[in-house]
Structure 1
């Protein structure tokens, strides 16, 4: 049985841990609010970009490499993880998703894939497991700007345009709510019909003439649109990261407080037993002297 001193030491260390996790929970909560606002502010830009592409695409018959599927020999994956841990299953779920894709779709053949990783946690784990990483970006800020992801996004798109890869997918945690984040594997290139599906409100633009022509406009807009999708996924991932960390730190704080309660109860019982024993010994000693 543990001594009073040992139990008291465990109580003190657990209280310090509880204070630390509680502080991390509050920090994550603050970052989550700002990250949600960043995502909200970015959505109007994405909506307008989609509307523009749908308007240009009204009437169909548009030919562009980003819209045309070709035989798949090599697939690129952009994997978004975090730079720090203590976020529950956030990173583990992303790593599981990419390794499952590699094993099931490519039978573990790394010659068929090109990995581009955002975040130190994903980079370290995948590298330790023997995966070849072609490009990476570490140390992303908690509130990333477009310039933080533009370089790797542009490089990935250039790989597709140069036919070094025939498909480009992005794997990240989509923010559903504070308590729920869903791992998403999205095909970015070639773009699916859902990405550029023309809404009925734009069909009247099919007879419009564009200057310069539609193909030239799409050539400029589609790479920017793809980069914007990657940036939007990063914003979603960062929001999910802060939510996951806040939830994990709250659970850790609750568990620590519960453990403190149990240890305090054990401490009080053991202390009471020690006091009772001392009283008994004193009474027995006094009776022996009579």
Structure 2
């Protein structure tokens, strides 16, 4: 009996330690979600400003020529950047993204080139036969996103100049609310007529007509670089916010399971303790009765 009680005490102690770890990870995930979601909201305003700047440039000269198209091939080389996770405890985060990206890419003709952002999604893509050309490690903080985006843009530009890619798509999870997220995709390149049409539909916020000061080509080139940077930055930040939302949901489920386990262990512990006390009282009572009988009382 005493060994069973001691074993339950050990299990209860282990459950309490595990609960402490889960609560810490839950707090870290909640804090990270807030950090990345705030970054996304801030980027929305800046993204809007860049779009307005591009719209102003094209109001003066509507010729596309933003990023000139490569020589046309029978099959347009397609590249995809897939954002996943570098760490565990994220449920089906990577599996959902891989399924979504593969389904979307299969609908596109031409040769596919894939870059994986995150070690775990890299292995998932490899397992299904879609071998990534390269991989990038996910940043661990907001400040580390910018260097990652710089590396991705350099890689894309090098491949594009070689004529190895033409269209570029982004795949990432988008946070919806709380611990809910959904996979999304968007075309990053080329900046074609459909992209220009979308810009032309953006209403100017004031009654004053915009005017580009200085050389339009330089301004346009700078705005395009910012547009590509912000689009990639936002996709990465949304993915990281969704990853932490998935981890938060996993920690909430783990915390609930631990609470149920602790309740079961505590009930078993108190039941064993009470049985032990009852047995001790029964032994005392039996001894007292035996003494009474010997004394002839």
The residue number in structure 1 matching 2:146 is 146
Secondary structure of residue in 2 paired with 1:201: coil
- In the alignment, is the contact (CA less than 8 A) between 1:81 and 1:117 conserved in 2? yes
Secondary structure of residue in 1 paired with 2:183: strand
The residue number in structure 1 matching 2:83 is 80
Once the two structures are superposed, residues 1-47 of structure 1 have per-residue CA deviations (whole angstroms, 9 ceiling, x without a partner) of: x9434433332222211110101111222222322332233333211
Once the two structures are superposed, residues 73-120 of structure 1 have per-residue CA deviations (whole angstroms, 9 ceiling, x without a partner) of: 432110112221223333332223223335x4369xxx8211111122
Within the alignment, does 1:198 sit opposite 2:198 as a pair? no
The residue number in structure 1 matching 2:93 is 90
The residue number in structure 1 matching 2:268 is 266
Structure 1, unpaired ranges of 5+: none
The residue number in structure 1 matching 2:39 is 38
The Cα shift of 1:205 comes to 6.1
Secondary structure of residue in 2 paired with 1:153: helix
Q: RMSD in angstroms over aligned alpha carbons? A: 3.5
The Cα shift of 1:157 comes to 4.3
- In the alignment, is the contact (CA less than 8 A) between 1:136 and 1:152 conserved in 2? no
- 1:53-72 equivalence runs, <5 A: 53-58=54-59, 60-65=62-67, 72=75
| Cα distance change, pair 228–72 in 1 and its aligned pair in 2 (3 A) | farther
- In the alignment, is the contact (CA less than 8 A) between 2:173 and 2:181 conserved in 1? yes
2:103 alignment partner, one of 80, 100, 103:
100
Once the two structures are superposed, residues 227-284 of structure 1 have per-residue CA deviations (whole angstroms, 9 ceiling, x without a partner) of: 3211111112122222332232233222211221122112222332343345445545
Query: Aligned equivalents of 2:271 and 2:133: distance in 1?
Result: 60
- Which deviates more, 129-138 or 274-283? 274-283
Query: Aligned equivalents of 1:201 and 1:268: distance in 2?
Result: 71
Structure 2, unpaired ranges of 5+: none
The residue number in structure 1 matching 2:186 is 186
- 1:14-29 equivalence runs, <5 A: 14-29=15-30
- Which deviates more, 111-120 or 69-78? 69-78
The residue number in structure 1 matching 2:228 is 226
- In the alignment, is the contact (CA less than 8 A) between 1:173 and 1:181 conserved in 2? yes
- In the alignment, is the contact (CA less than 8 A) between 1:157 and 1:223 conserved in 2? no
Secondary structure of residue in 1 paired with 2:204: helix
Secondary structure of residue in 2 paired with 1:265: helix
- 1:107-122 equivalence runs, <5 A: 112-122=111-121
The residue number in structure 2 matching 1:167 is 167
Query: Aligned equivalents of 2:134 and 2:198: distance in 1?
Result: 26
Query: Aligned equivalents of 1:65 and 1:72: distance in 2?
Result: 19
Once the two structures are superposed, residues 115-165 of structure 1 have per-residue CA deviations (whole angstroms, 9 ceiling, x without a partner) of: 111122212333355432212211522223422221113322443454312
Query: Aligned equivalents of 2:257 and 2:266: distance in 1?
Result: 14
Question: What TM-score comes out, normalization by structure 2 length?
Answer: 0.79
Query: Aligned equivalents of 1:30 and 1:7: distance in 2?
Result: 34
- In the alignment, is the contact (CA less than 8 A) between 1:116 and 1:135 conserved in 2? yes
